[in-house]
Chain A
Amino acid sequence: MFRGFYTVASGMLAQQRKTEMLTNNMANVNTPGFKAEQSSIRSFPEMLMSSVQSTHIPSENGFNMKGIATFGPLSTGVYMKETMPLFIQGQLQETELTTDVALVDGFLPVDEETGIQGAVFFTLENDAGGTYYTRNGNFALDANGFLTSSSGYYVLDSEGNRIALQGDDFRVTESGVIMEDDNDVATLGISFAARPDALMKQGDGLFVTETGENLVAVNTIPNATYSIQQGFVERSNVDAGRTMTDLLTAYRAFEANQKVLQAYDRSMEKAVNEVGRV
């Protein structure tokens, strides 16, 4: 009877999911290397509406024929289809700690098909021997002197090996070479994703590829440039003002849907209690 009843309910649900995502962005406004999520909301697949009607055929005896006519498409709701991290560069923040490094995007090639710019990441070793990618350069030294991420995954060098260091008195050059007493010990392994949208967030600031395949090293990409800043971390790229505005917008959209739901309810009340009164 009321087709829109469940449509507005789906609208409320979609807006609720959006506020949940925006709250997570807001929660990570201080997380180094965090990439803000964006959502896209899509309507349910459309369906064709048709009506049962009679067609009048001009004939002598006024013959009517029952027929079905379509009168257009209708969508019965919306849902949150995608969440995608926004890969723009965050600001740098000085921490004075030698184990903190920030990755700064230089020129990165744009994918011809999608028009999306590639992205560079630090490479980490995961528990299963595969790789994780992260922009969070808030590193630490573990008990055995290996360079690890803040959650304890080994940072890999350009050859895919763990990086062993004597202590935290090391220097990292702009190109990512780690120097200890003027000897170069290792080069930070920087990976390049031509299609960063195809990466999935894993928590802890980690990204993985959907298929589990490794990304390519950035130095295999012609013209791609980046630089490394030691003693800095890349701040989260969440814009707190915009996120709060989006949050309020989503809230109001949720409220509007709720109002429509109430209106449907009142219509139904009329149908049940007044139309049906004998």
Chain B
Amino acid sequence: MIRTMITATNTMNQLQHQFDIIGNNLANSSTHGFKASQASFQELLYEQFTNDKADRAPRQSPVGIRYGTGAKIAQTQMNWKMGSLQSTERQLDFALTTPKQYFNVIMPTEGGEETVYTRQGSFYITPIEGGQLMLVNDDGNPIANAQGMPILFNDDVADYHVQPGGILEVTGNDGTVTRIELGITVIERPNLMEHLSGTYIGLPRNLAELGVTEDDVFTNLQGADRNLIGLQNGVLETSNVHYEKEMTDLINVQRNYQFNARAVTLADQMLGLINGIR
């Protein structure tokens, strides 16, 4: 049968996935702390045809012909480069100014609590039992301190300040100062992390299978290492989606899709010609 159709359809199917990735990047172009992903293609298998064993004609290439069967997405990679900083002048907006550093968020799951990582630093306070306040993010999940515990302080706050070393200083109305070490993790291998919903990334479920330990992937900054933290408040990190790059890619993928669709049409017409022989 006509292989053209299968080759083109294989590829169209994969191009659709690339569309989805570009669409997701574009949709999140104004999500703070979002990291763009990009897909790259690779050739599918080649089939070797030895159609001319008896043929002794001079040739340059090895015997037979090799048929390609289309293209597929080889890998999607996250671009961990920093987005630009946007000033919001809001005290509870934080931006990490060093790449690869992430806030720790405590997320409730079916199997208990789990720590996930994000660079989206728009935080809020929420009252909890006992007249205390808790630092949470947009989704209402608690932010962890350096010990991995939720951050709590008294319901009497005049001001928030960020000090070097990732320390959040909460000044009460009576002048008392509470110093909280925000939990910051350096993820050395961001491409190994699993993309969860939103801007969260988490450890891959098959970490043990991959033959790596948590220590290979990230470091929780403690003690002297905390001086590496670059943290600012009153600003947010915007997404690192390049609008123009995504649009160019989108056009490119669409044209590529059209080319392949055209190949399907041509294959269909060829089948029509075969049927029309008689």
Contact = CB atoms under 8 A, between A and B. Distances in A.
B13 to A, nearest CB: 11
B274 A258 contact: yes
B173 to A, nearest CB: 45
A210 interface: yes
A194 interface: no
Contact of B46 (A19, A203, A254): A203
Interface in A1-46: 12, 16-17, 19-32, 34, 37, 39, 42, 45
Given A99-B77, A201-B46, A29 B270 contact: no
A200 B74 CA distance: 21
Contact of B191 (A81, A96, A140, A203): A140
Given A27-B71, A81-B52, A140 B43 contact: no
Contacts of A22: 263
Q: Which secondary structure characterizes the binding site on chain A? A: mixed
Given A32-B41, A150-B74, A251-B266, A24 B67 contact: yes
- The B contact surface, by secondary structure, is mixed
Contacts of A25: 68
Interface of A: 12, 16-17, 19-32, 34, 37, 39, 42, 45, 79-84, 95-97, 99, 114, 116, 136, 138, 140-141, 143-145, 150-151, 166-168, 197-198, 200-205, 210, 233, 240, 243-244, 247-248, 251, 254-255, 258, 261-262, 265
A60 to B, nearest CB: 51
6 contacts: A24-B70, A26-B260, A31-B43, A79-B51, A81-B52, A205-B43
Interface of B: 2-4, 7-8, 10-11, 38, 40-46, 48, 51-52, 55, 57, 59-62, 65-71, 74-75, 77, 79, 81, 188-189, 191-192, 210-212, 216, 252-253, 255-256, 259-260, 262-263, 266-267, 269-270, 273-274, 276-278
Contacts, number: 187
B38 A20 contact: no
A139 B205 CA distance: 23
Nearest to A200: B62
Contacts of A23: 3-4, 7-8, 260, 263, 267
Given A81-B55, A254-B270, A201 B66 contact: yes
Contact of A31 (B42, B269, B273, B274): B42
A109 B65 CA distance: 27
B61 A84 contact: yes
Contact of A83 (B65, B189, B253): B65
Nearest to B1: A16
